[in-house]
Structure 1
């Protein structure tokens, strides 16, 4: 079932969103001081391509710098991205087949709002340690 949902997601929402996050990551790398947000943007891009079967959890080694960076991110871009995800979720929820996709869209909000200090892990291992998870 995950494969079917991921393929439908890829076509309807994943590819355009991933391209947007990848573009934002490239821009962040060009503006050298924003490289941490660029890395987080690429992490989100990989997550939005194939979200079913994976989840975002807090990285245990994240510190004060991640928290400060997330506050800056929320003010600059996080709020607007969350509004976009909510609008997209509402549009997807109109059809029956879109309801699981809308749920996945809502699932992206925490990592979109605070991308620094997060890691992507398989859904069956949400409490995995940092060293033995997906290196995304």
Structure 2
């Protein structure tokens, strides 16, 4: 089921979301200060490209990760989170779109605090 969900995801907007995260990562990596933030975008790209069957675990960060998450949240994270939240709500309007909306809600959480987040395969 995960493979079918990922293929449909890819065709119905997953590729566009992946490209958006890639462009964000490239723009952030242009400056030396933005490189850590760009690297986080590139980590998220693979999750956004093929999300079904994967889960995230938030909160495994130290003092440096906390500092970078605060900067991320203020400067970039709220935009990513709001975009994924709105898209997720739009998907959840229809019954068929609910699984895709739930994926966008996961991306919204990850868009808020990416530093220290762990992406892993679920047992399903």
TM over 0.5: yes
Question: Distance between the aligned counterparts of 2:49 and 2:86, measured in 1?
Answer: 18
Q: What is the match of residue 75 of structure 2?
A: 76
Partner of 2:104: 105
What RMSD in Å do the two structures reach over aligned CA positions? 1.6
Partner residue, 2:49: 49
Structure 1 residue runs without a partner (length 5+): 126-136
Which position in structure 2 is the counterpart of 1:33? 33
CA deviation map 1:6-47 (0-9, x unaligned): 111111121111111111111111111111111110011110
Question: In structure 2, the residue corresponding to 1:108 is in which secondary structure?
Answer: helix
Corresponding position of 1:130: none
Q: State the secondary structure of the residue aligned to 1:32.
A: coil
Q: Which runs of 5+ in 2 are unaligned?
A: none
CA distance, structure 1, for counterparts of residue 43 and residue 56 of structure 2: 10
Tell me how far apart the structure 1 counterparts of residues 88 and 59 of structure 2 sit (CA, whole Å): 26
Count of aligned pairs: 124
| Deviation for aligned residue 1:79 | 1.1
Deviation, structure 1 residue 114: 0.4
How far 1:58 moved relative to its partner?
3.8
TM-score for the superposition, normalised by structure 1: 0.84
Distance change in 2, residues 1:105/1:65 (3 Å): same
Moved over 6 A (4+): none
SS, match of residue 94 in structure 2: coil
Scaled by the length of structure 2, the TM-score of the pair is 0.92
